[in-house]
Amino acid sequence: MKVDGLDKRMHGDVFISPNTLKSKRTKTAPATATRVDRRDSANLPEVFVRVDQAAAKIDQKLTIMTKILNQINSEKDDIIRARLARFFNVLKAFIDEALHPTGDLATDRILAGKSVDIHIDNTSITLQGIRIKLEAQHSSLNELSRSPKTEDVHIMMQAIRKAQRDVKKLRINLSSARDQITHHSKKTSSLTL
């Protein structure tokens, strides 16, 4: 996100600036829905496209990560297991980076799991975002070690399955909101003719 010409990243409610040595803790926006009016809806298809593209890339990487975990599970050679684990961690870092704020308020809110209200004429459509997290539940496992244990592989596999379900829900919500907007636009245009 660009603020006063400086590149800043937002992690939860912590802003990290490259020209400060320590992070400053500040509160971010409240959990209320962002309102998008008709005059702002010109960029709405772009928001949908950006979120859908991010979800598609994440889903693709999650599928690859599942295959890698299956290979790690069946591999006997420790050197190959270590290389596969390293590649898995690189893909996980890619997903973490893809979920960073983009600078577009609506896109960021959707990817953060917050809702966005879309107001077209007298109709309000709420798009509920889904937060995609690649974190193991009930575990502090963030990445695979060089020689991952079978339990660690299974924990990561569960985290990937949950993230895939979240991506699917997000894409369904996007499709539903798109359909509602299209339906409303057709209804409005047929009434004005």
Over residues 38-80, the pLDDT tens digits come to 444 445 677 888 888 889 999 999 999 999 999 999 998 989 9
Based on the fold, state whether residues 2 and 85 are members of the same structural domain.
no
Give the total number of structural domains in the chain. 2
Based on the fold, state whether residues 43 and 134 are members of the same structural domain.
yes
Based on the fold, state whether residues 111 and 162 are members of the same structural domain.
yes
**pLDDT over threshold 50, residue 22:** no
Based on the fold, state whether residues 16 and 87 are members of the same structural domain.
no
Cα distances (angstroms) measured from residue 123 to each of 43, 68, 75, 183: 18, 46, 56, 11
Q: Per residue in 111-147, is it b (16+ CB within 10 Å) or e — as a string?
A: bbebbbebebeeeebebebbebebebeeeebebbeee
Position 109 scores a pLDDT of 87
Question: What domain range is 8 assigned to?
Answer: 1-30
**pLDDT over threshold 60, residue 188:** no
Give the span between the Cα atoms of 45 and 146, in whole angstroms: 43
Based on the fold, state whether residues 51 and 84 are members of the same structural domain.
yes
Based on the fold, state whether residues 44 and 14 are members of the same structural domain.
no
Q: How confident is the model over 23-49, as a mean pLDDT?
A: 52
> Which tokens sit at 140?
């502090």
Q: How confident is the model over 148-173, as a mean pLDDT?
A: 91
169/132: higher pLDDT: 169
Based on the fold, state whether residues 140 and 55 are members of the same structural domain.
yes
Position 19 scores a pLDDT of 43
70/143: higher pLDDT: 70
Based on the fold, state whether residues 37 and 25 are members of the same structural domain.
no
Q: What is the pTM of this model?
A: 0.69
